[in-house]
Amino acid sequence: MPDQSSFLSRLAAHGDAVAVVTDGLAFGYGELVRRVEARVAGLQSRGVGSGSVVGLELADEVEHLIASLALIAVGARHVTRPTHDPAEAKRALSERVRATHVLTVDGVAARDGVPSEASGAEGIVYLKTSGTTGGMNVIAFTATQLAEQAQRHPEYASERLLRLASIEHNNSKRHRLYCALMGGTNVFRPSGEFDVAEFCARHGVTCLDISRMHASDLAAQGGIGRFDGVKLRTGGSAVPIDVRRAIEERVTPLLYVRYASTESGAIAMAGPGEHDEMESVGRPLPGVQLEIVDPDGNPLPAGETGRIRLRAPGVATGYLDGGEQTASRFRDGWFWPGDVGMLRADGSLVVQGRQDDMMILNGINIFPGEIERVLERHPAVKVAAALPLNSVVHGQIPVAAVELVEAASVTATDLQRFAREHLALRAPRRVIILPSLPRNSQGKILRREIALAFEKGRRTT
Amino acid sequence: MGEGDLRQMLVDAIDGSTIVGLRRSGLMEGFLDGTADIPFAALEMDSMGVMELCIAVEVNTGIEVVPAELVELGSLGAVVATILERQQ
């Protein structure tokens, strides 16, 4: 049987601290535990417990958090089935994790013909991540692993955390859980458009955690002084120095840029005073052992570029059912995030690109990230995505698609020339301008779709 | 890609590359409107320039041209003619 009281006692230990805040609601950890216990009773009355696998489909963020904590407490495994996902995607996810139940606003329903299977004593949260070949990998984190990951965020103990992305998104969910485990305050946004600065001020938000895209938008909007005292934390993709400077000057000087992966949680973070032209992501977080190694696995000295590997309490040890990449990403006792980078003499990490994404054009190694960073320095460019086009003659030809800022006037040729001035032979050989870059529901740019646009363009234009 | 677009594409590709002779040749406007050809000698292309032109052709049209084949063509007009022929 899962040690339900032990898990809930972690939450109860936070005493009178405020656990949840929304526009119309605020309650402490005592009330949170009561609500979780009530949900636990409801789950158990429907036969959900250790051995159950539950697809959690709740858009209401507070209810989602409570349900998630309750599912962990009863020892069930659960996965978020985002309400905005198409029905087929939800069904595929349920099949992948062999879900026995689905929990929605209508209650818990058992899925026909899917028996419960014995599982360990702990509740488990499944997080999904995209594989490099387009497939989906699922990672199972125990409550203990999540608690270990949360220890890398001691600041959460006194944080009032607002995230613009819904708890239905992986990264938001794990940070909402960290915040609860550490005794911080989860502040949830209202639905629809709202004045983020005013909301932060009204609810005493101390940390605004947003995607790099949202961060760029905030910087473009300006509003100097409106976020005084609020930390802005972002990550998820490389954050160019120009964007960092714009945020520091126009939004808040309290900028934090995080390097993380779904498999490990946060790895490193650059804080105020640590943002420079090298676009460092800061020093590894407490408990994270990180090395840069050569292709044979030999550690490299500071300043040399190589493959990143790390280990830390709470890091995943593989993908569900082995997954497509378990053998390559989890080996020799290390997690290999697939990135290439260097450690500087001061211990800070510079991530230079994805090992898998490195292109080789006539013997020249080129990372998409370096192209994207240069294009995004152009004032007309909102966001750029670089990718290779395979060539029998040249290997891989770098190309890029860009999305322009509103009312910008620039041609693709101008941008190609701009890139050439900064990158010389590492420049993209073709640039296209798209109304918007294709993204998935989590805002991740879909490079395969962009590649299709280039392939089509090669044949027809 | 029609002939006019092909000519513009080649000019854009060369103009943004390491090939320095295009503007000095004084033939760019004539090449764009189809009244003049530009021999490779006028472009002052080194081997890197030839490679860049091959890449430009491939990435914009999908037609693979190896450097030796390109040099044999001798002029930008011949490159345009070859692409048009292979597109059919």
The answer to whether residues A411 and A431 touch, using CB atoms and an 8 Å cutoff, is: no
- A228-251 confidence digits (pLDDT tens): 899 999 987 678 888 899 899 999
Is residue A194 situated within a structural domain? no
User: Is the per-residue pLDDT at A222 higher than 80?
Assistant: no
**What is the pLDDT confidence band of residue A116, given thresholds at 50, 70 and 90?**
low
**Nearest CB to B54: which of A393, A424, A459?**
A393
CB contact under 8 A, B16 and A389: no
Give the residue numbers spanning the domain of A438.
Answer: 359-460
Q: Which residue of A has its CA nearest to B1?
A: A461
The answer to whether residues A125 and A65 touch, using CB atoms and an 8 Å cutoff, is: no
Kindly report the average pLDDT of chain A as a whole number. 90
pLDDT at position A214: 80
User: Is the per-residue pLDDT at A442 higher than 90?
Assistant: no
Question: Chain A interface, mutation test: which of B58, B64, B66, B69, most A Cβ atoms within 10 Å?
Answer: B58
User: Is the per-residue pLDDT at A133 higher than 70?
Assistant: no
Of these ranges, A57-61, A127-131, A409-413, the one predicted with the greatest mean pLDDT is: A57-61
As a whole number, mean pLDDT of residues A27-34 equals: 97
pLDDT at position A371: 92
Write down the residue that tokens 């009773």 correspond to: A41
Q: Which residue of B has its CA nearest to A413?
A: B12
**Overall domain count for chain A:** 3
User: Is the per-residue pLDDT at A112 higher than 90?
Assistant: no
Query: Do A106 and A146 fall within a single domain?
Result: yes
User: Is the per-residue pLDDT at A294 higher than 80?
Assistant: yes
User: Is the per-residue pLDDT at A4 higher than 70?
Assistant: no
- B65-86 confidence digits (pLDDT tens): 998 899 999 999 999 999 999 9
Give the residue numbers spanning the domain of B81.
Answer: 3-87
Q: Which residue of B has its CA nearest to A455?
A: B62
**Nearest CB to B58: which of A391, A417, A420?**
A391
Query: Do A404 and A349 fall within a single domain?
Result: no
- Alpha-carbon torsion (A112, A118, A121, A126), positive or negative: negative
pLDDT at position A458: 62
Query: Do A276 and A385 fall within a single domain?
Result: no
- A251-282 confidence digits (pLDDT tens): 999 999 999 999 999 999 999 999 998 899 99
pLDDT at position B58: 93
Query: Do A23 and A138 fall within a single domain?
Result: yes
Is residue A196 situated within a structural domain? no
The rounded distance, in Å, linking the Cα atoms of A231 and A255 is: 6
**Nearest CB to B61: which of A362, A417, A458?**
A458
The residue among A320, A354, A388 that closes a domain is A354
User: Is the per-residue pLDDT at A288 higher than 80?
Assistant: yes
According to DSSP, the β-strands at A289-293 and A306-311 are antiparallel
Is residue A156 situated within a structural domain? no
Cβ-Cβ pairs closer than 8 A, A with B, add up to: 51
Write down the residue that tokens 């190609």 correspond to: A416
Strands (E), A299-436: 306-311, 330-331, 334-335, 339-343, 349-354, 359-361, 364-366, 381-391, 395-404, 430-434
> What CATH number is attached to the domain comprising B36?
1.10.1200
- Say if A422 is an interface residue toward chain B (CB within 8 Å): no
Query: Do A232 and A329 fall within a single domain?
Result: yes
Question: Chain B interface, mutation test: which of A359, A411, A413, most B Cβ atoms within 10 Å?
Answer: A413
The answer to whether residues A367 and A358 touch, using CB atoms and an 8 Å cutoff, is: yes
Residue % of chain A over a pLDDT of 70: 94
CB contact under 8 A, A461 and B1: yes
Query: Do A334 and A371 fall within a single domain?
Result: no
- A366-406 confidence digits (pLDDT tens): 888 889 989 999 999 999 999 999 888 888 999 999 999 99
The answer to whether residues A212 and A369 touch, using CB atoms and an 8 Å cutoff, is: no
CB contact under 8 A, B66 and A391: no
Q: Give A 345-404 residues with CB within 8 A of chain B.
A: 361-362, 389, 391-394, 397, 399
pLDDT at position A216: 78
Q: Which of A264, A193, A201, A271 is nearest to A232 (CA)?
A: A271
The rounded distance, in Å, linking the Cα atoms of A70 and A54 is: 11
Is residue A172 situated within a structural domain? no
- A148-206 confidence digits (pLDDT tens): 999 999 999 999 999 999 999 989 999 999 999 999 999 999 988 899 999 999 999 99
Q: CB under 8 Å, gap of 24 or more: what pairs does A413-416 form?
A: A413/B12, A413/B15, A413/B16, A415/A375, A415/A378, A415/A380, A415/A381, A416/B12, A416/B16
Query: Do A252 and A294 fall within a single domain?
Result: yes
User: Is the per-residue pLDDT at A224 higher than 80?
Assistant: no
CB contact under 8 A, B51 and A362: yes
Is residue A70 situated within a structural domain? yes
CB contact under 8 A, B17 and A362: no
Which position has the higher pLDDT, B24 or A449? A449
As a whole number, mean pLDDT of residues A64-71 equals: 98
The residue among A327, A354, A381 that closes a domain is A354
pLDDT at position A120: 65
**Overall domain count for chain B:** 1
Query: Do A268 and A369 fall within a single domain?
Result: no
CB contact under 8 A, B58 and A459: no
**Nearest CB to A394: which of B15, B48, B55?**
B55
pLDDT at position A2: 47
Is residue A162 situated within a structural domain? no
User: Is the per-residue pLDDT at A134 higher than 80?
Assistant: no
Is residue A198 situated within a structural domain? no
pLDDT at position A3: 57
> What CATH number is attached to the domain comprising A232?
3.40.50.12780
Helix axes A4-12, A170-182, angle to 10 degrees: 70
Distance to chain A for B79, nearest Cα, Å: 16
Query: Do A145 and A264 fall within a single domain?
Result: no
Q: Which residue of B has its CA nearest to A399?
A: B59
According to DSSP, the β-strands at A283-284 and A289-293 are unpaired
Which residues of chain B lie closer than 8 angstroms to A389, CB-CB?
A: 59
pLDDT at position A461: 41
> What CATH number is attached to the domain comprising A76?
3.40.50.980
pLDDT at position A357: 79
According to DSSP, the β-strands at A136-142 and A207-209 are unpaired
Query: Do A259 and A372 fall within a single domain?
Result: no
The residue among A354, A386, A417 that closes a domain is A354
- Say if A68 is an interface residue toward chain B (CB within 8 Å): no
User: Is the per-residue pLDDT at A313 higher than 50?
Assistant: yes
pLDDT at position A280: 94
User: Is the per-residue pLDDT at A79 higher than 70?
Assistant: yes
CB contact under 8 A, A459 and B62: yes
Question: Taking chain A, what is the end-to-end CA distance rounded to the nearest angstrom?
Answer: 64
The answer to whether residues A173 and A152 touch, using CB atoms and an 8 Å cutoff, is: no
Query: Do A370 and A341 fall within a single domain?
Result: no
pLDDT at position A459: 46
pLDDT at position A5: 66
- Say if B54 is an interface residue toward chain A (CB within 8 Å): yes
pLDDT at position A119: 63
CB contact under 8 A, B64 and A392: yes
CB contact under 8 A, B55 and A429: yes
Q: Which residue of A has its CA nearest to B88?
A: A459
**Nearest CB to B58: which of A393, A413, A459?**
A393
Distance to chain A for B12, nearest Cα, Å: 7
> What CATH number is attached to the domain comprising A405?
3.30.300.30
User: Is the per-residue pLDDT at A435 higher than 90?
Assistant: yes
Query: Do A231 and A113 fall within a single domain?
Result: no
- A322-366 confidence digits (pLDDT tens): 876 888 899 999 999 999 999 999 999 999 887 877 888 887 878
